[in-house]
Amino acid sequence: MSDLNTRLLAAHEAGDRAALVELYEEAANAAADETACGFYLTHAYVFALEAGLPQAAALRARLVAMGREAAQD
């Protein structure tokens, strides 16, 4: 099992949303393709929203740039 996967599982088990945001963003940055990147960024974004973390805005901006989230009018 990869180190990142082990850390993700531990963060899920602990309910550590801040760590989940960082780890899912790390996974997105290391993703082999855009589909995987979008999947991981979406998870990071949702956990950031749930935790009220300021990273949510930057994650949303990345999703908008990828065409995976609608831009605000």
Residue by residue, pLDDT tens for the chain (73 residues) are: 599 999 999 999 999 999 999 999 999 999 999 999 999 999 999 999 999 999 999 999 999 999 998 887 5
- Tell me, what's the pLDDT at 1? 57
Is 59 buried (19+), middle (13-18) or exposed (0-12) by CB count in 10 A? Answer: buried
- Tell me, what's the pLDDT at 22? 97
Structural domain contains residue 29: yes
Structural domain contains residue 55: yes
Structural domain contains residue 71: no
Report yes or no: 8 and 24 within 8 Å, Cβ to Cβ: yes
Structural domain contains residue 56: yes
Structural domain contains residue 70: no
Structural domain contains residue 11: yes
For the chain, how many structural domains are there in total?
A: 1
- Tell me, what's the pLDDT at 73? 58
Domain that holds residue 7: 3-65
In this prediction the pTM is: 0.91
